[in-house]
Structure 1
């Protein structure tokens, strides 16, 4: 709770600091704000608190998710490079303030104990992302992405709210525990039909937020059109918060009706895996490839949600952390290479822009390789163990068909992830040494080392959750 209050104060402070401080100084202050908010979050460890009329609950699980969310935001700010030197068209104080507010919304989504609090957190996060997506006002793709995201997000929110309304009508409560108790105490034959409709509508609304098929159509265009730094934020913070909320709702609130929602989630996970991975194969733009990759990873996480095992929470936490570290690294390298190649090659966002990267920029090539290997699920990286834990949870639920589909799709994933590695190491170009800011380089090294640590000590890290 103290972190939420602090983030609100920090966000407002950033707006005023923008009048007096330089871009680099505002970036430093924002990093300090996020570090302080993480410290306040850790201070709540092993202390369960209820706030706002018991609508907000702080537990060790919510603290773990909050730390991952704030860590992702920390890396995004570090990789923002203070938004360059474009004083006329970029306003870092405003961007950082909106990002801090959206982190606050994400924390509400992982700590809610009341459906209205879930909605408030979701809207704070979503509205912030609509604004950041369209922040590059001179870019028609950014404008298009923002309007698509806004319109489809509004429809998804309406569907979610309608589902919440039906659930409230059936159980007469918005509190998670009260709804679970009402479901557990009502015989199945006496359960109102509209309760099942409410559950499915809530599922649809939340699946949109995590880019699961067939509710994924907004993802490639929004990821492609948004400024890369905000795409990085969207693909990590939003997805982590979305899955934490999804699992909390369906495991904690609708656990007594597992057979009602597990089968749809099971089939949606397989559909998401197939669509995400197969479509990613045909992408020539690395940014769109990472967008479809994000869809495919939603499929893996939905597998463990449908399994609903005792270890599912720790699996989602581990997978979210591994995915976050690999994704921010991949997007950071894409950002700096595409900016360097703009004006030098015809399509700076395509894989060809990475040709010969390893020759003059070995650090960038190495970090890119580790991140893509992790996303592909190759051993000795965090991504491998993330998938292993997902498969393990699914196996213990005896859902073998989805494991077969997931393994096959992982093989497909190796093909398109290796496009970037092959371009960096086995193709040649006239690329020169790219100057990397010191903070940028330090953040790259830390995220890459983190991916390797997760791969080398998976059990130790998972026990922390």
Structure 2
């Protein structure tokens, strides 16, 4: 609970800091706020489960682990966002404040024990992201992305609210444990059909947030149109919070009707893998490729949800961390390279922007290569073990067929991830030496180091959760 209270307060403080004459204080202050929130997050480690806000919010080790991933990802993203202050038209206090408030919503989604708390968390996170997506007001792509995201998000929220209403009508409660008790002892009848319909509608709303097919149509355009720093935030923090919420929802309320919903999630997982991986192969824009890549990784995480066991819980946590680290590295390098090479005054976000990267910028090429290898699931990276744990959890549940499909789709992923590695090392380009701020470089190296460390020692946190 401490991070929620702290970030709510820090978000307001950040907005007031915007009135100061110098913008240079904003980034260090925001990073300090995140460090305090991250430290406060682990004060309750091994003390749970604890309930707050009239038993609407639950804090246990699983909650704290997901919170830690979200706050660490946010810290790294803020640390590479210093470019806000270079633009005289920007208002970094507003951006940082909105991002801190969105983190409050993300943490609510992770620890909710009441469906109203879930809805509040989703909306706090979503409204902030709608605004940030369209923050580049002079860019038509950004305006278009914000409009699409807002309209489709509003529809998804409608489905979600309708689902919550039906669940309340069937069970008479918004609390997860009471819904769980009803679902476990439910008899076939009108109330069971209402519960099934409510669950499906709620899942539609949540699956939209994590870019699962067929609710993914907004993702490529929004990822491409939004400023890259906010795309990074969206693809890591939002996705981690969404899957943490889905796991808590299904494991905390609907294990009694597992036979009903697991096949639905499995079918969506397969469709998501197909759409994400096949869609990524046809992209020439690196940023759109990462959008389809995010869709495909949602498919892998959905496989863990179909297993819904202790191993799958740990697999989701590990995979979320590995994916977040690699994605931050990929977008971090993209921001540096795309600013150096422009097309018509706009950042060049295509594959050819990386041509010859290794010759003049070997560190950036290495960081990008490790991130691509991890996203592809190549051994000795964290991404390999993330997929291995997910496939193992599904196999232990006896869902072999979905594991086979996922492995085949992983081989497709190697094609489009290796395209950027080939561009960096084997193609000639006119890239010059890119100046990287020292702290920016530290963040990229740290994320790369952790990706390799978790690839070499994947059991480093085993037994803690």
Q: Give the TM-score range, shorter chain.
A: over 0.9
CA distance in 1, matches of 2:453, 2:190: 51
CA distance in 1, matches of 2:348, 2:462: 38
Written as runs of structure 1 = structure 2, the 5 A alignment for 1:53-132 is: 53-88=54-89, 90-132=90-132
Match of 1:451 in 2: 451
CA distance in 1, matches of 2:13, 2:266: 45
CA distance in 2, matches of 1:73, 1:305: 24
- The alpha-carbon distance between structure 1 residues 259 and 8, as it changes in their structure 2 partners (threshold 3 A), is same
For residue 311 of structure 1, give the secondary structure of its aligned residue in structure 2. Answer: helix
Match of 1:292 in 2: 292
Match of 2:280 in 1: 280
- Structure 1 residue 185, shift from structure 2 partner: 2.5
Match of 1:380 in 2: 380
CA distance in 2, matches of 1:347, 1:108: 35
Deviations 1:350-372 (A, max 9, x none): 10000000011000000000000
Q: Which runs of 5+ in 2 are unaligned?
A: none
Tell me if the contact between 1:24 and 1:82 (Cα under 8 Å) persists in the aligned partners.
Answer: no
Deviations 1:409-458 (A, max 9, x none): 10110000001100000011121100001110010000000100110110
Root-mean-square deviation (CA, aligned residues, Å) is: 1.3
- Structure 1 residue 25, shift from structure 2 partner: 2.0
Which stretch shows the higher mean deviation, 180-189 or 294-303? Answer: 180-189
For residue 72 of structure 1, give the secondary structure of its aligned residue in structure 2. Answer: helix
CA distance in 2, matches of 1:324, 1:214: 23
- Structure 1 residue 463, shift from structure 2 partner: 3.4
Q: Does 1:27 align with 2:27?
A: yes
- The alpha-carbon distance between structure 1 residues 65 and 19, as it changes in their structure 2 partners (threshold 3 A), is same
CA distance in 2, matches of 1:346, 1:58: 44
Q: Which runs of 5+ in 1 are unaligned?
A: none
Match of 1:394 in 2: 394
Which stretch shows the higher mean deviation, 77-86 or 96-105? Answer: 77-86
Match of 2:427 in 1: 427
CA distance in 2, matches of 1:64, 1:255: 22
**Residue correspondences, number:** 464
Which stretch shows the higher mean deviation, 378-387 or 11-20? Answer: 11-20
Normalised TM-score (structure 1): 0.98
CA distance in 1, matches of 2:361, 2:463: 37
Normalised TM-score (structure 2): 0.98
Match of 1:51 in 2: 52
- Structure 1 residue 303, shift from structure 2 partner: 0.4
CA distance in 2, matches of 1:347, 1:51: 46
For residue 431 of structure 2, give the secondary structure of its aligned residue in structure 1. Answer: coil
- Structure 1 residue 84, shift from structure 2 partner: 4.2
Written as runs of structure 1 = structure 2, the 5 A alignment for 1:321-400 is: 321-342=321-342, 348-400=348-400
CA distance in 1, matches of 2:189, 2:169: 17
CA distance in 1, matches of 2:344, 2:172: 62
